Amino acid sequence: MTTRTPALLVLEDGRVFRGESYGAAGETFGEAVFSTGMTGYQETLTDPSYYQQVVVQTAPHIGNTGVNDDDPESRQIWVAGYVVRDPARRASSWRATRGLEAELAAQGVVGISGVDTRALTRHLRERGAMRVGISSVEADADALRERVLASPQMLGADLAAAVSTTEPYVVPAEGERRFTVAALDLGIKTMTPRRMAERGIEVHVLPATSTADDVLAVRPDGLFLSNGPGDPSTADGPRDVLRAALEHDLPFFGICFGNQVFGRALGFGTYKLGYGHRGINQPVQDRGTGKVEVTAHNHGFAVDAPLDRATDTPYGRAEVSHVCLNDDVVEGLALRGAGGELKAFSVQYHPEAAAGPHDAAYLFDRFVELMSVTQRTQGDG
Ligand SMILES: NC(=O)CC[C@H](N)C(=O)O
C-alpha cells in the first residue's frame, strides 16, 4: 500500500475540499465542471473540448477498466485537472494496456481523489461552473485561492486554434468514395470523421485557422464544423468561413461548437449556461419528428435563438430543430431554403457517440442525404 500525498482543491468562491494527490503531482487551474457519465472516462479525458477545464466525475468509481489505445478521442489528454472520489486500485479489462493513474501521471495531468464529488457537484450546480485550483504542493487554501482568482476565465476564452491540427490531413472513405467533406478542426474528436468515413465520405480535416478559400480548394460536397473548447463568441474566423460556404449553398453540418458557430453565422448570439450539460444521458427532442433521443453532451455555452418561431436570415429561414427536455436549451438548428428544403443543420450534442448512446447517428445519414439531394439539384440545374 502506498501512502498518498495530501492535495487541496479550492474553488474561486472560497469553498475548499481536501483529498489526495491523484495522477501527476503539482498544481493546476481551470474551470470546474462536472460530467455525469457512468462510463467513457477515457473518451472524456481525451475530448479536446475539455481543454482548460477541470472535470469532476460524479460516478464514484473511476479507472476500473484502465486505459487502452483504442478509445482515445484525440492524441492526448486535454483536461486541465481531474477530480474523482474513489479511484480503482486495480484496472480490470481485457482491453486495458495500463492503469488510468499511470496514464494521467505520464501525461502530466494533476488530479485529486478522495473528494466528496457529490457535494462538489451540488455546489457547482447551485453556484455555477467556476474557476478552481488543485494542488499537492500548496497546503494553504487562501494562497491557492489567490492564484485561482488570477487564472483565466472561460468566458471570452479563444481556445480552438490551440487544440486544432496545424496541418491538414485526410480520413479516407471506407469502401467507395461518395462525397468529399471539408471539416474544420476546432477540437475534433477521432470518432467524428470515422462516422463520416463509414458512410462513404472522404474527410479533409483542416486547421481551425483555415480560410474560405482553403475550404473551397478541396472542392467539397459539404462543410463540417467540429466540437471544440472555449467561448464561441470568440470564433469570428470560423463564422466567416461558414458564412462564405452558406453563400455558395454548400451543404453544412455542425456539432457542438459547430452548432454555436452556425448560430452566430445566422445572426444569433451565444451565452454561458450556469453549469452546462455534460454526460451521456441527456434527453433531446427532434422537433421535426417529435422523437426523443438520449444523447451525449459536453457544452457550457448555448445558442440564443427563439423556440416559438422561425427567423429570416440572409441565407434562408432558420429554426430551432432540437431542444433539451431538461431545460429547453437550444440543441440544434436547421436552415431552410425558399421551398422549405433543408440547406444546413447542426446539433449542440454528440451524435458521434464517443462515449454515449447511438440514438443520434441518423444525423450523419441526414448529412449524406443533404449532400446527395444538393448534388442532384445542382446536377439538374
Ligand atoms: N463540446 C463542445 O464543442 C463545447 C463547445 C463550447 N466550448 C462549450 O463549452 O459550450
pLDDT of residue 60: 97
Determine the length of the chain: 381
Q: Which CATH architecture has domain 160-380?
A: 3-Layer(aba) Sandwich (3.40)
Pairing of strands 292-304, 311-313: unpaired
Distance 137 CA to ligand 1 centre (A): 31
Lookup: cell for 333: 438548428
Pairing of strands 252-255, 201-207: unpaired
Sign for the CA dihedral angle at 174, 180, 185, 187 comes to negative
Closest Cα partner for 258 from 169, 361, 160, 360?
160
Active-site residue 324, yes or no?
no
Domain extents in the chain: 6-150, 160-380
Pairing of strands 179-185, 222-225: parallel
Q: How many CB atoms lie within 10 A of CB 147?
A: 15
pLDDT, tens digit (0-9, with 9 covering 90-100), for 130-151: 999 999 999 999 999 999 999 9
| Mean per-residue pLDDT of the chain | 97
First to last CA, the chain: 73
User: Of the CATH numbers 3.30.70.260, 3.50.30.20, 1.10.620.20, 3.40.50.300, which one belongs to the domain with range 6-150?
Assistant: 3.50.30.20
The model carries a pTM of 0.97
Distance 229 CA to ligand 1 centre (A): 5
Beta bridge partner(s), residue 62? 87
Residue 367 annotated as binding? no
Write the Ramachandran bin of 72: left for phi over 0, alpha for psi from -120 to 50, otherwise beta. beta
pLDDT, tens digit (0-9, with 9 covering 90-100), for 151-185: 999 999 999 999 999 999 999 999 999 999 999 99
Whether 353 has a pLDDT exceeding 90, the answer reads yes
pLDDT, tens digit (0-9, with 9 covering 90-100), for 88-132: 999 999 999 999 999 999 999 999 999 999 999 999 999 999 999
| ipTM, 2 dp | 0.98
Which amino acid is present at 92? S
Which of 192, 227, 330 best tests ligand 1's pocket when mutated (most atoms within 8 Å of CB)?
227
pLDDT, tens digit (0-9, with 9 covering 90-100), for 59-82: 999 999 999 999 999 999 999 999
pLDDT, tens digit (0-9, with 9 covering 90-100), for 214-254: 999 999 999 999 999 999 999 999 999 999 999 999 999 99
179 Cβ inside 6 Å of ligand 1: no
Distances in Å between the alpha carbon of 2 and those of 64, 251, 345?
A: 18, 56, 52
Distance CA 381, CA 372 (A): 14
Atom of ligand 1 nearest to the CA of 229: 7
348 Cβ inside 6 Å of ligand 1: no
Distance CA 104, CA 36 (A): 20
